[in-house]
Homo-oligomer: A and B are copies of this chain.
Amino acid sequence: MSGFTPKDPDWENRLRRSFAAQAFMKHLGAHLTHIAPGAADISLSLVPEVTQQHGFFHGGVTASIADSAAGYAGLSLFAPGNGILTTEFKLNLLNPARQDTLVARGRVVKPGRTLTIAKADVFGVGGGGDEVHVATGLFTLMGVDGVTD
């Protein structure tokens, strides 16, 4: 996996700055827990604010951290001054998301000049460290010139 080489020497700071500026991630209580070239992980805890009517993680929450994880995986490979936009994504919800913690792992599948394709897998992690595969998705990311991300 990987072998990706970032075009922006400052990519790590760039990702952390951009993530910190996503007010919505803070509102969810989400953290950027891992970054590498072509990869980004985001996790958050099960608190009442992120639940649907049965007390599980809302599907939109799962989608939100999956989207940001895939996006930052992509952004890690972008040139300076080339911002990122999710143009579309698809998510399959595989299992109920009711574990203590949700972790979204974004990974670049294919970098490109105009479009970058990434995937994200979301896992629910229980108290004992056991993982349940909660969701899997595909994301199309577009580079936008002249945008600071």
Contacts and interface: CB of A to CB of B under 8 A. Distances in A.
A60 to B, nearest CB: 2
Nearest to A112: B94
Interface string A115-132: 101010000000000000
- Give the bracket for the number of chain A residues in contact with chain B: 35 or more
How many copies make up the complex?
4
A18 interface: yes
A24 to B, nearest CB: 4
A58 B149 CA distance: 14
Contacts of A27: 27, 49-50
A59 to B, nearest CB: 5
Contacts of A1: none
A52 B22 contact: yes
